[in-house]
Structure 1
Amino acid sequence: MSKLPKMTQFSVLPRIQDCLRSFHGSLVLLGLFVGLCYLPIWLAGLLDRVPQSSDGFTLATAFVGLSLYMLWKQHRQLAQLEASEADRLLGHMLIIAAIGLFPFCRFAIWPQAILWALILSGIACSTWGLRFFAQHQLLVAAALATVYPRPTVPVRLLWEAITPYKFLERWMAQAGAGALQLLGWPATAVQSLVTFPEGAVDVNWGCNGFDMALIMAVTGLVMGVFLKQSWKKTLGFVGIGIVAALAFNVPRIMLLAVASVYWGQSWFDFWHGPWGGQLFTGLLFTVYYYTVMAMVKRRSGKAA
């Protein structure tokens, strides 16, 4: 029987030994060890709300995949970068500060996420220099978006800080009620409520389409990167994804409102739950994918 190659011994250990020969390498390894300590907390936060909604999980995994893909794609360019003495000192200070504070910040996810972001920034700064952040902005943004397991939360807080109270919920209620009126239903919108003579349903945050619009924006970004499109075209994909998500959310609001008032709780639970939601999501992604691919093929044809 032939022995399997000892991948750990021949691949990982020499690299670790090389890192330990320098102060920079040892500090990077120590920072990565702190990342391993944070990993179980990150995974627990990522999986915590999956039974209620998979939007945050989808978004987080998309950012992880995008950052790893871009890191692999640009590894040759990164190998040519070298940090100056000042950049290396700055990076080391960030890593040391984050490592020193980490044991005192285990009380919540968000301070650990901030410190992990500082460690990653310090590793990049001390290895590739500050030029890395200017030359690889998309990679930096995608990597930093992975440090917190619920990326929709900070975006939601920012959205609620700059918009009026329940702005999107009220807009969705009005759009849903208006579309129902066109179909002959006696629906009206009162704030974030879609009302009928027999009852009403409230459009809450989970049904306003924001999370799905965010996912579609990231989907457009990922497709633009993978299809090697220009920044202008990629931003177009992002915009189309946001508009498509909000447009598809209107018939979902209509269906949920009718089901809640007229069809009974079981039908409302089905369309509001994961199975009914996945039907809309699947249809949205299918339409969006073929729309983007048609745009890419049409523009490629014109360029030829």
Structure 2
Amino acid sequence: MKQTLLFRQWGLSYLKAAVRDWHGRFVLMGLCMGLVYLQTWLPALVGRLQHGSAGLPLIGAALALGLKQIWTNRQKIAQLEASEPDQVIGHLLILCSVAAFPLCRFAVWPQAILWLLILAGITVSSWGIQFFTCYPLPTLLFVITAYPKPGLFARILWEALTPPLFLEQIMAQAGAAALSAVGRPAVAKGILVFLPPNGAVEVGWGCNGFNMAFTMAAAGLIMGLFYQQRWHTTLAIMAMGIVLALIFNVPRIMLLAIAAVYWGKESFNFWHGTWGGQIFSSILLTVFHYTVMTLIKRRPTKQI
């Protein structure tokens, strides 16, 4: 009860201080719009968690690391001063984004872009544009957390840079080869894995391993930052996560093919659904964790 009262008093003090000048009013207006976006951002993350996505813990960890960086450097940040042009640019970013926000409620991504512009406006008008060059790491972390579906942008980029169904065909070939190696003759044609004469399964986007590889790369980035590893070690951890995700995806394809062809629809739906995906994810994350910790113990940490 006492903590609640202190928090309320702090909030009232902040509001009184914020409305004393135009800069505080602009910042307060931008933060209020952030509360509006929170009502879209948080349910989207929670909804994906129910479908087996690891977006909520990863984005939560990135947000916590970003806030930690800001708090650790708060005294240095307080010494930064925004020039008059910076304040004008920042206030315009906030004002234009807030004005456009009601028109962009039709989807999550335009709201995420406007929220990023509001954050940029608050930052530039408070500490100047030099903040982004002085503190690129928290900037990157906040950019990552703004959109509740960061994997979507990665998919768009991947599909723009690779031939159609590139990874799906590779996974189909790998799955068929692995099935043949364990005594289940299989043939891959395009994105289909045939187990003659019984049937076939299709390796679609959700089964090509990309989403899990992206998740493991993000987890590797966060672990590298959390354990204060050097940049080349962090890149090695991310690459390790990607490789492990693609390797673990092959037995998953094998199991789904066997379940679909021999065990029936109910078994296939289980392993293809949330519970089956969580089982594979848990095993993958366990192996990844111990592998990363072994690597970290052999490498020195960087000094911040």
- TM (norm. structure 1) is 0.92
Q: What is the deviation of 1:278? A: 1.4
Gaps of 5+ in 1: none
Q: Does the 8 Å CA contact 2:229/2:300 hold for their aligned counterparts?
A: no
RMSD: 2.0
Q: Does the 8 Å CA contact 1:95/1:123 hold for their aligned counterparts?
A: yes
- Which piece of structure 1 moves more, 98-107 or 115-124? 98-107
Equivalent position of 2:143 in the other structure: 144
Equivalent position of 1:246 in the other structure: 246
Q: For each residue in 1:236-264, what CA deviation from the matched residue of structure 2 results, as whole angstroms up to 9, or x when unmatched?
A: 11111111111111111111111111111
Q: For each residue in 1:37-74, what CA deviation from the matched residue of structure 2 results, as whole angstroms up to 9, or x when unmatched?
A: 12112223323444433244444434333333333333
Equivalent position of 2:293 in the other structure: 293
Tell me the secondary structure at the aligned position of residue 149 of structure 1: coil
Tell me the secondary structure at the aligned position of residue 82 of structure 2: coil
Gaps of 5+ in 2: none
Tell me the secondary structure at the aligned position of residue 145 of structure 1: helix
Question: Mapping of 1:84-163 within 5 angstroms?
Answer: 84-163=83-162
Tell me the secondary structure at the aligned position of residue 257 of structure 1: helix
Question: Matched residues in 1 for 2:34 and 2:200: separation?
Answer: 48
Percent identity of equivalent pairs: 51
Aligned pairs, how many?
A: 300
Equivalent position of 2:212 in the other structure: 212
User: Which structure 1 residue ranges, 4+ long, deviate > 6 Å from structure 2?
Assistant: 2-5
Equivalent position of 2:35 in the other structure: 36
Q: What is the deviation of 1:166? A: 1.1
AA in 2 matched with 1:234: T
Question: Matched residues in 2 for 1:114 and 1:3: separation?
Answer: 38
Query: Residue 77 and residue 257 in structure 1: after superposition, are their counterparts in 2 closer, same or farther (change >3 A)?
Result: farther
Question: Mapping of 1:223-238 within 5 angstroms?
Answer: 223-238=223-238
Question: Mapping of 1:68-87 within 5 angstroms?
Answer: 68-87=67-86
Q: Does the 8 Å CA contact 2:77/2:127 hold for their aligned counterparts?
A: yes
Question: Matched residues in 1 for 2:32 and 2:165: separation?
Answer: 42
- TM (norm. structure 2) is 0.92
Question: Matched residues in 1 for 2:243 and 2:4: separation?
Answer: 52
Question: Matched residues in 2 for 1:200 and 1:236: separation?
Answer: 37
- Which piece of structure 1 moves more, 193-202 or 54-63? 54-63
Query: Residue 10 and residue 56 in structure 1: after superposition, are their counterparts in 2 closer, same or farther (change >3 A)?
Result: closer
Equivalent position of 1:183 in the other structure: 182
AA in 2 matched with 1:15: Y
Q: For each residue in 1:2-60, what CA deviation from the matched residue of structure 2 results, as whole angstroms up to 9, or x when unmatched?
A: 96662244311112211111211110000011111121122233234444332444444
